[in-house]
Amino acid sequence: MPVTVILTRAQVQAIVDHAHEGRPNEVCGVLAGNDHRVERVYRATNVLKSRFRYEIDSLELLKIHRDFEDRDLELVGFYHSHTHSEAYPSATDIDLSAPWRDQTFGIVTFFIVSLKYVPPQFRAFRFDAAGAVSEVPIAIVESAVDSESLARHFSSDVIGQLDSGFLAFKEHGSSPDPIPGSDASAGYPAEVDDFGPTVDLPREPVTGD
């Protein structure tokens, strides 16, 4: 069973809202943190502006990487949206994972939010060296304090109701209920960053669909 990834409710809501804002095109971003616990959500620009594929500009990715390293954080993974299909990796998504499978950057998780359903699906996956897919359990908590506590005391791969203060969803669960008052114009906590559009670098971009 893969190690559980921990996010706060606000972080998941920010990702879901990003997906809604970007419709009909796919959106993408980066998640950083420590000990499989997400601490910052970085919105990125889909330079392809496509309904079926996404690409994170290499310079933008480099800026994000430098920012979370300056904060003593590590790469947790990437997220993107599927506007019309299941929250499950496509063949292109699996190809995308190839540079990250050797764990040079640690264990990288790929998150997918699907807008095919109401509420949207939010699921996470990892890939072995051959590209085989494994779903990753997600624990969704109310606050960063809960997230830190859960990371310290995680002793089981079985996700359930761990404590009255924790919201935990099984690996096939959908996203949590929307946060009251949360919308595209409301703004997010400091751990959500938007690096905006950037110019291309002469190197391979991160792509997928």
Could you tell me the pTM of the whole model?
0.73
Q: What is the mean pLDDT of residues 70-83?
A: 95
133-191 tens-digit pLDDT: 889 999 998 877 666 666 665 543 333 333 323 333 333 333 444 333 333 323 334 45
In this structure, is residue 103 part of a structural domain?
Answer: yes
Asked whether the bond before 120 is cis by omega within 30 degrees of 0, the reply is no
How many structural domains does the chain have? Answer: 1
Residue 71 domain flag: yes
Q: Is residue 61 part of a domain?
A: yes
pLDDT, the chain, mean: 75
CATH number at residue 130: 3.40.140.10
Whether the Cβ atoms of residue 62 and residue 203 lie closer than 8 Å to each other: no
> Does a structural domain hold residue 208?
no
Tell me, yes or no, whether 147 lies in a domain. Answer: yes
Lowest mean pLDDT, pick from 45-59, 117-131, 190-204: 190-204
So what's the pLDDT on residue 47?
Answer: 92
Q: Has residue 166 been placed in a domain?
A: yes
